[in-house]
Amino acid sequence: MRVTERAEQAAKVLKGLKTLYPDAQCELNFGSPWELAVATILSAQCTDKRVNAVTPHLFKRYPAIEDYVKADIKEIESIIRPTGFFRSKSLSIQESARTLLKDFNGKLPKTMAELIRLRGVARKTANVILGTAFSLAEGIVVDTHVKRVSFRLGLTKKTNPALIEKDLMAVIPRKEWIFFGHAMVRHGRRVCAARKPLCQSCLFKSFCPQGIKNT
C-alpha cells in the first residue's frame, strides 16, 4: 500500500478499535510510575496476567525504589521467577532502581532519551511508561500483538519493531498513539491471535487482507 492508502486503512482500523475497545488501556496493575516500569520489564516474554499475579507480592516486599537497591537479588529472582528470564529481569530492575536514585533523584524521568538509559528499558517499554504513567505520546507501543495485527491489516510490511513504529506513526494521528497501542494489543489477544485468528467474527474482515483471504 502507498502512504495514502495506508492512511485510509489506518482510519478504518482506528474507527473500528474505538467501537470495539473504547476504554482500552494498559492491563498491567501498578500504583506508581516506578511500579509500572517494573511490571513492564517483567512483561517481556510473559503475559500480563502472570505479571499481575507476581507484582502484588513484589510491590509489598519492596515498597520503595531504595528497597530494590538494598535487596538480595536472589530474593527478587525468587519472587519474579514465574515471569521467566528472572535473572536478567532481576538485574534490570535493581540496576534501574540504582540509576534512578543516582541520576534522577529517585523519580522516573519523562523523556524517551532518559528512560532508555535504564537497564531493561528499550523504546517499547519507554512508550508504555510515557503513555500510561504520564499521558505523553512519544511513540506507539509495538509489541508482538501490535506487530502481528499491523502486518495483517496492511498497515506495514516491516518486521523490525522500530520500522513498524515509524510506519504507524506516519498514518495514526499523534493524539491517538497511546489509545491505538493499547487497543491493538487487546485486539491481538482477543480476536487476531497468532495461530487461530477469529477472522469470521472480526469487525475488520471486510478490509483486512488477511481476513479477506480467510473468509
pLDDT tens, position by position, 71-129? 999 999 999 999 999 999 999 999 999 999 999 999 999 999 999 999 999 999 999 99
84 φ/ψ sector (left φ>0, alpha ψ -120 to 50, else beta):
left
Q: Is the pTM of this model over 0.85?
A: yes
Span 123-152, pLDDT tens digits: 999 999 999 999 999 999 999 999 999 999
Residue of 18, 67, 107, 143 marked catalytic: 143
Q: Classify residue 139 as exposed, middle or buried by CB count within 10 Å of its CB (0-12, 13-18, 19+).
A: buried
- In 3D space, the residue among 69, 74, 75, 36 whose CA is nearest the CA of residue 52 turns out to be 36
Residue of 23, 70, 89, 124 marked catalytic: 124
Query: Catalytic: 124?
Result: yes
Q: Which CATH class is domain 3-24+140-214?
A: mainly alpha
* CATH number given to 33-134: 1.10.340.30
Domain ranges of the chain: 3-24+140-214, 33-134
Residues near 33 by Cβ (< 8 Å), separated by ≥ 6? Answer: 107, 108, 129, 133, 134
